[in-house]
Amino acid sequence: MTSAAAQQAIIAQFDLALAAYPTTKPKVQYPNRNGVDLATQVEPYIGLDIVNITGQQLDLNPKPMSVQAGQIVITAFCKDSSGWLGAANLLDYFLPWFELKNLSAGVRTHSAVYAKSNSAKGWEGYPLVVPFWWTRIAT
Domains and CATH numbers, the chain: 3-32+41-137 (3.30.2000.20)
Mean pLDDT to the nearest integer, 82-99: 94
| Residue 103: predicted pLDDT | 96
Whether 19 shows a pLDDT value over 80: the answer reads yes
By C-alpha distance, which of 115, 133, 137, 116 is closest to 53? 133
Report the C-alpha gap between 56 and 102 in whole angstroms. Answer: 20
pTM above 0.75, yes or no: yes
